[in-house]
Amino acid sequence: MAAARGVSYLLFVLTVSLCTGKQNYPTISHLKEEGIDNDSEEPNEPPDQLIGDFGNFESKRLRTDSKKRFKCLSCEPPDCSGLTECHDALQCWKSRVRDSDGVERVSRGCTTVPDHVPFICGSSSKSGHTKRHTGGQYAMDCCEGDYCNNGSFPYLANANFVEKVPHDVSNIGYIVKLALAILGPVLALGAIGTIVLFLMRRTHRKRLMAARAMADHDPFYASDEVLRATAAGDSTLREFLDRSMSSGSGSGLPLLIQRTLAKQISLAECIGKGRYGEVWRGVWHGENVAVKIFFSRDEASWNRETEIYSTVLLRHENILGYIGSDMTSRNSCTQLWLVTHYHPLGSLYDHLNRTTLTHHQMMKICLSAINGLVHLHTEIFGTQGKPAIAHRDIKSKNILVKLNGSCVIADFGLAVTHVQSTGKMDVGSNPRVGTKRYMSPEVLDESINLDCFESYKRVDIYAFGLVLWEVCRRTVSNGIAEDYKPPFYDLVPSDPSFEDMKKVVCVDQQRPIVPNRWASNATLSGMGKLIKECWHQNPNVRLSALRIKKTLVKLASSDVHVNLDLDS
């Protein structure tokens, strides 16, 4: 132990001496003062040896300081062009370096600082050495004499720079362990994800089978589905909404959650305005939602829509998805919120103003819209049944377009419900009337039987015929499509009065003009005949929603340009 302390002390003194430039080397007396003498457990030869080695190094350094100085050539890599001179040099050198890519670089230079000589050229006055390292190879020649580093550069033997594979990697056991370490967690996560997906699909299948079993009580509702449009971009929010519905509940979230909706939603931008209020795009839990804000004077519409959306089994892929309703206060004003799914393409009215349609797009819009109307008009019998619903305000602005090209029906502020078993019809207390441009003749001349639910369904069919006319005008055939125009655009003002519409529709019995080009296209010609049956003057002659759907399916099936996918 004493010897070890002596060595530590010796190294410390040498370090201080080198740093300060003084040659105060430890002596035997110094060691004795530190308690290290010949009586120690270890012999004192190692410290003496260290003193001798460091003394030799220092004497060599002193001799180097007094050596003759030379002139050398100097140039920079990679090609050593542009030679310069280096003066007052202790040694000259030239080198060649080859990196791992096989690229060689050459350079010349000199060493002027004595302390650098051992590190660059080694202890000998002239040396040449070649070494390989992880970055490639290098060779260096050192010499003494004026311009002695002139001439050719050191030679490097050919080398294979492909990295050597570690011995352990070639071991099969090592490879197997490495593969298991990488693939194991991936396979485990994949298995967990597969199990979760399987359980979710099975739950969804059970819910779907229960709904179908309930629908089997009605032969009309059980008819073949033609266009079961998948919700575009199913989101986490939508899955959450699906899970939030218990069997027998209405559409939307539980009432307790709805009462806090307004506090959880931040309004981003206003996307529409109307007589009822405004529609905003909001953000709820990172998902976009549509927020319909009613004026306080329109509370009856808000109540009616909330009531209709809460109807059991109303939820359908072609009915606007409902999230909840809430009442809040902003800027000392009461606001009535109706929160639904958000569809960035907007209404069918906006969509038709933006773009023309192919036959396939036209059929997808018409079939999805009539699917929604069939679902509304059909009563589902049973303890958890659904009443028949008449919309009473069908128009292109109340039909929204999803990202996949299908449609959903919205705005149920004027809806009427009917239960066949009891004969009860709920018209609601909303005094607001429908849109005048889409009013049927019997509504305009006030001959409608308000006590018969079928009368309200026929009003929907008349308005739906006008929507079909709007869609077909924007459908391209033979490279031609008309500009978008609302129904009766050439017969009434932009904001027609009740009397304007009554004169045109009831007195003159006029309808929108069917373009001549439709006659040369089998599909559009068939659509024209269908439209005329929808807007017939006599309500009893108009087709039912289910008959319209079957006619559209027949037209689509006979059109080679329409690719009907029964599973999409």
In angstroms, the CA 361 to CA 19 distance is 87
**3-class DSSP string for 80-113:** CCCCEEEEEECEEEEEEEEECCCCEEEEEEEECC
Closest CA to 367 of 467, 458, 275, 278: 467
Closest CA to 511 of 562, 559, 469, 568: 469
- Helix, strand, coil fractions of the chain, as percent rounded to 5: 40, 20, 40
393 as an active site residue: the answer is yes
Closest CA to 68 of 163, 174, 145, 127: 145
Using an 8 Å Cβ cutoff, are 196 and 370 in contact?
no
* Overall residue count recorded for the chain in this entry: 568
**3-class DSSP string for 241-295:** HHHHCCCCCECCCCHHHHCCHHHHCEEEEEEEECCCEEEEEEEECCEEEEEEEEC
In angstroms, the CA 246 to CA 238 distance is 15
Which residues make beta-bridge pairs with 408? 400
Helix (H/G/I), strand (E/B), else coil: 468: helix
Which residues make beta-bridge pairs with 518? none
Cα 284 vs. chain centroid, distance in angstroms? 16
In what helix (H) or strand (E) does residue 212 lie, and over which residues does it extend? helix 172-215
Closest CA to 443 of 537, 530, 361: 537
Q: Residue holding tokens 């849109």? A: 435
Which residues make beta-bridge pairs with 128? 141
Cα 518 vs. chain centroid, distance in angstroms? 42
Closest CA to 314 of 368, 392, 254, 384: 384
Q: What angle do CA 305, 311, 312 make, to 5 degrees?
A: 160
Helix (H/G/I), strand (E/B), else coil: 345: coil
Compute φ and ψ for 32, nearest 5 degrees: -65, -35
User: Which of 141, 393, 411, 559 is flagged as catalytic?
Assistant: 393
Catalytic residues: 393
